[in-house]
């Protein structure tokens, strides 16, 4: 649904209710989209941050050691 900024100001409560119900609202200024009002994402839409990839990433034992080609830069 597209609405002008003027209409969005007047009907904000209704637009929020519709977005909460799953509708996407595009707010326009002079006929061009300037913002979107979206429904909230479900709680399970994000991975937990701490430990989210545990067991999925392998770091080599020599990850932080430099090869002999770097010797001249380490002097």
The per-residue pLDDT for 47 is 66
Average pLDDT, the chain: 90
CATH number for the region 1-40 comes to: 3.40.1620.10
Query: Is residue 23 within 8 Å of 16, Cβ to Cβ?
Result: no
Among 18, 19, 10, 16, which residue's Cα sits nearest to residue 38? 19
Task: Spell out where 8-70 has E strands.
Answer: 25-29, 32-37
The per-residue pLDDT for 49 is 79
The per-residue pLDDT for 26 is 98
């Amino acid at each position: 649904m597209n609405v002008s900024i003027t209409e969005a100001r007047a009907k904000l409560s209704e637009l929020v209710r519709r977005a909460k119900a799953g509708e996407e609202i595009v707010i326009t200024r002079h006929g061009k989209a300037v913002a979107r009002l979206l429904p909230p994402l479900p709680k399970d839409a994000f991975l937990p941050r701490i430990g989210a990839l545990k067991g999925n990433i392998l770091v080599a034992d020599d990850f932080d050691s430099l090869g002999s080609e770097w010797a001249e830069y380490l002097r």
